[in-house]
């Protein structure tokens, strides 16, 4: 604290809390999109700090693909209970049953893109005017161009060429009827910042992020957890491996890394020396060079 300088983690924290408070002040029906991953857990932690001693003044929304890790769901329920916040679950299975979304077929079928339908349906049902999420600009090249306050038209679409300029700390959340915003309070955090802050603040995480033994299938160089959602291709076999996850999406598409890092210090050390990006193991991003940009334009998170 000497010289009246705060370190980079406290500066990022302060910026995120400022943005979260702006969301609560500028919108009528904000929600926090909770995926169960470390970034949304971090975001929930920051929201708690922003309004303490009051409770978080908005609900958490979880889009449940039905392909989640059971550990993620258990962690989510415990956290919601502890914070005393409302949880809204939007179900992809329900969207499929209602014929709103069509399941992909084939061995690489994934429900990742189907989330868009459930997400937009849920936002509409609850008349959400601002959905905040834990996306970070360092994750992916299309996300590098996101604003903190990202305007979506009445169809939930993103127009990267027509974004509102964002100056100083003045955020323009004004909108017309039917439009909404996606807001990204931790835009400026890197993967390393997230882990260092989790350690600094001693934030609980699902055990998936720490080294453990698991039955896996290696497909196109990506280590996938063996589960009921995976159909083995010819020549593939189930191997028991020592792994952990760097991101947590759906079971059939989230790649693990071989790792013995079983505490935060070891994870931070591992990330400092690692040579691939955290989404490097995400099969959903590998479909095309602009896979993320294409999905985002349609309303993906």
Chain contacts with another protein (rule: CB under 8 A): 1, 3-15, 17-18, 21-22, 24-25, 48-55, 137-138, 141-142, 144-145, 160-161, 163-170, 172, 174-176, 187-188, 190, 192-193, 196, 200, 272, 274-277, 280, 289-290, 293
Taking the complex as a whole, the smallest distance from the CB of residue 16 to another protein amounts, in Å, to 8
CA pair distance 179, 75, nearest whole angstrom? 32
Taking the complex as a whole, the smallest distance from the CB of residue 272 to another protein amounts, in Å, to 7
E runs forming strands in the chain = 30-33, 60-64, 87-91, 130-132, 149-152, 180-183, 212-219, 222-225, 238-245, 256-258
Its sign, for the CA torsion 16, 36, 151, 160, is positive
Taking the complex as a whole, the smallest distance from the CB of residue 25 to another protein amounts, in Å, to 5
Collapsed DSSP state (helix, strand, coil) of residue 277:
coil
CA pair distance 278, 239, nearest whole angstrom? 22
CB-nearer residue toward another protein: 51 or 210: 51
Token duo for residue 209: 């992020």
Taking the complex as a whole, the smallest distance from the CB of residue 48 to another protein amounts, in Å, to 7
CA pair distance 57, 276, nearest whole angstrom? 37
| Phi, psi for residue 275 in degrees, rounded to 5 | -120, 10
CB-nearer residue toward another protein: 23 or 131: 23
CB-nearer residue toward another protein: 10 or 102: 10
Taking the complex as a whole, the smallest distance from the CB of residue 278 to another protein amounts, in Å, to 9
CA pair distance 144, 164, nearest whole angstrom? 15
Q: Give the total residue count for the chain.
A: 301
CB-nearer residue toward another protein: 168 or 213: 168
CB-nearer residue toward another protein: 90 or 281: 281
CB-nearer residue toward another protein: 43 or 117: 43
In sequence order, which residues have a C-beta less than 8 Å from that of residue 3 and are 6 or more positions away?
none
Taking the complex as a whole, the smallest distance from the CB of residue 252 to another protein amounts, in Å, to 20
CB-nearer residue toward another protein: 260 or 290: 290
Taking the complex as a whole, the smallest distance from the CB of residue 284 to another protein amounts, in Å, to 15
| Phi, psi for residue 104 in degrees, rounded to 5 | -75, 155
């Amino acid at each position: 604290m000497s010289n009246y300088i705060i370190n980079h983690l406290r500066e990022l924290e302060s910026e995120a809390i400022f943005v979260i408070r702006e969301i609560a002040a500028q919108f009528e029906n904000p929600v926090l999109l909770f995926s169960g991953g470390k970034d949304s857990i971090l975001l929930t932690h920051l929201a708690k700090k922003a309004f303490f001693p009051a409770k978080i003044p908005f609900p958490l929304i979880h889009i449940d693909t039905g392909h989640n890790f059971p550990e993620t769901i258990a962690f989510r329920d415990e956290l919601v209970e502890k914070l005393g916040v409302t949880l809204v679950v939007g179900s992809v299975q329900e969207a499929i049953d209602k014929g709103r979304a069509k399941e992909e077929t084939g061995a690489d079928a994934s429900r990742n893109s189907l989330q868009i339908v459930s997400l937009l349906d849920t936002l509409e049902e609850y008349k959400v005017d601002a959905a905040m999420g834990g996306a970070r600009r360092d994750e992916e090249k299309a996300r590098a161009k996101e604003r903190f306050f990202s305007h979506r038209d009445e169809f939930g679409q993103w127009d990267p060429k027509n974004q509102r300029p964002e100056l100083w700390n003045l955020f323009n959340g004004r909108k017309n009827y039917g439009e909404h915003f996606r807001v990204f309070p931790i835009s400026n955090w890197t993967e390393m910042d997230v882990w260092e802050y989790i350690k600094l603040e001693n934030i609980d995480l699902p055990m998936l992020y720490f080294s453990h033994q698991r039955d896996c299938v290696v497909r196109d160089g990506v280590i996938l957890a063996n589960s009921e959602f995976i159909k083995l291709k010819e020549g593939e076999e189930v191997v028991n491996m020592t792994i952990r996850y760097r991101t947590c999406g759906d079971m059939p598409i989230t790649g693990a890394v071989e790792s013995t890092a079983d505490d935060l210090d070891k994870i931070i050390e591992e990330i400092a020396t690692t040579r691939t990006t955290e989404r490097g193991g995400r099969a959903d991003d590998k479909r095309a060079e602009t896979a993320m940009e294409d999905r985002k334009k349609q309303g993906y998170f």
